[in-house]
Amino acid sequence: MEILKKIKLSSFEDYRGDLVAIEENMDLPFSIRRIYYMFNLKPNEPRGFHAHKKTQQLAICLRGSCTMLIDNGHEKTKIEMKDPKNGVLIDRMVWHEMHNFSSDCLLLLLASELYDENDYIRDYEIFLNEIN
């Protein structure tokens, strides 16, 4: 299975600028129950470092750039996120980390579930045990 799932979003571009539309269950494989975004990020303060038991997410870098690390317990890959027309799917049981934020980075996350701390696995060893 492909570890990195990139989603090319529908964009409408004309002389006025660009518009991206995202429809649940169409442009992404889940219904959106939660939206959050991060900004005022620091290049040396990475975030994430967890996996979700149930939640699926789509990450889109709306402005600036950052590096997303995706790890399914068997393979790891990194992707430079800087294109608001491309999302990265963070599936359930995928360890993810976000690094190297540009000072203007604005990162949007669309999530399939409401926030629930019990859905998080924040210990990498526990994550690996759960995977295997």
Q: Nearer to ligand TYD by C-beta: 13 or 116?
A: 116
Smallest separation (angstroms) from ligand TYD to the CB of 9? 21
State yes or no: residue 115 binds ligand TYD (CB under 6 A). Answer: yes
State yes or no: residue 99 binds ligand TYD (CB under 6 A). Answer: no
Q: Kindly report the number of other CB atoms within 10 A of residue 17's CB atom.
A: 7
Name which of 83, 90, 129, 123 is nearest 106 in CA terms: 83
Phi/psi of residue 131, nearest 5 degrees? -70, -40
State yes or no: residue 92 binds ligand TYD (CB under 6 A). Answer: no
Residue tagged active-site, from 50, 52, 74, 96:
50
Q: Kindly report the number of other CB atoms within 10 A of residue 126's CB atom.
A: 11
Number of H helices, E strands in the chain: 1, 12
Q: Is 99 a catalytic residue?
A: no
Helix (H, G, I), strand (E, B) or coil at 11: strand
Q: Check if the beta carbon of residue 72 is closer than 8 Å to that of residue 3.
A: yes
Q: Nearer to ligand TYD by C-beta: 9 or 109?
A: 109
The residue from 6, 8, 24, 36 that contacts ligand TYD (CB under 6 A) is 36
The residue from 9, 22, 27, 48 that contacts ligand TYD (CB under 6 A) is 48
State yes or no: residue 37 binds ligand TYD (CB under 6 A). Answer: no
Q: Which residues bind ligand TYD (CB under 6 A)?
A: 34, 36, 47-48, 115
User: What residues are annotated to the active site?
Assistant: 50
